[in-house]
Structure 1
């Protein structure tokens, strides 16, 4: 049997094994939810880095070079 646990907008499916207590299900659901949060955080960090690099490249490309007069 499987149990679906919902944390806000995120649902986690946890297998219900023979002999497991409700505490075991809660621990397993929490572990899986945290793993999902870590993966989402990693994806957002990667997207942030890509966007930051893209913006830097776009800024450098469109800033006119003003010659220095000494």
Structure 2
């Protein structure tokens, strides 16, 4: 995604840091959103690879379900 991080703000609620730093986010902690994930200010979330695209049905051009069935 590589979105710009949000400005840092004071957390008002408990949460989990997406950077897997081992610490929870508590009210009063300085936090921010990086690539849409809540982290402590200064933590960097782990890069998660984009999932592979699902196969597409050649008839209806819809993604094929995980069980192999198509809706057409």
Which range, TM-score by smaller chain?
under 0.3
Give TM-score, length-normalised by structure 2: 0.21
Higher helix share: 1
* Higher RCO by CA contacts (8 Å cutoff, separation 6 or greater): 2
